[in-house]
Amino acid sequence: MPDPRLTGLGSGLFCAAVMLVLGFLDQVLFGASLTVYGVLFLPVCLLTALWVRRGDLLTAPVVVPIAFAVGLVTVAESGEGLGGRLMGLVTALATEAGWLYGGTLVAGVTVLVRRIRLMRRRAAARRYPPV
């Protein structure tokens, strides 16, 4: 399993790019199924939270909702013109909020666990310095 360490910006770009590609694939393979898009969003959130570096842990729960909206542009129903596309995007965001909250929760809990483990490791290193 690769173990990349992404910066805050890098994790945002990774997540947004992957969701955009998955949105296009969902549109081609499944006819723009919002449920498939939501299910695919969850592992992307987990990977983003696992691969962000320690110093930028708090950026993961922030970038995943943005990436959800970026990729959603490809699968949201759209009418004619800019107004129709915007209305489709807003409607999709409203109806698929459960997936959005779920993915953000996955990223937040993962980051929280990583942060607690990091703090415990640092405390142990202060208590028992290497000899």
pLDDT in tens, 20-55: 999 999 999 999 999 999 999 999 999 999 999 999
Rounding to the nearest 10 degrees, give the CA dihedral for residues 81, 63, 42, 102: -90
Q: Specify the amino acid at residue 27.
A: Q
How is residue 56 annotated by DSSP?
G
Are 74 and 52 a contacting pair, CB within 8 Å?
no
Q: For position 77, what pLDDT does the model report?
A: 87
Are 61 and 108 a contacting pair, CB within 8 Å?
yes
pLDDT in tens, 64-111: 999 999 999 999 888 788 899 899 999 999 999 999 999 999 999 999
Question: What is each CA distance from 3 to 48, 53, 116, in whole angstroms?
Answer: 11, 10, 19
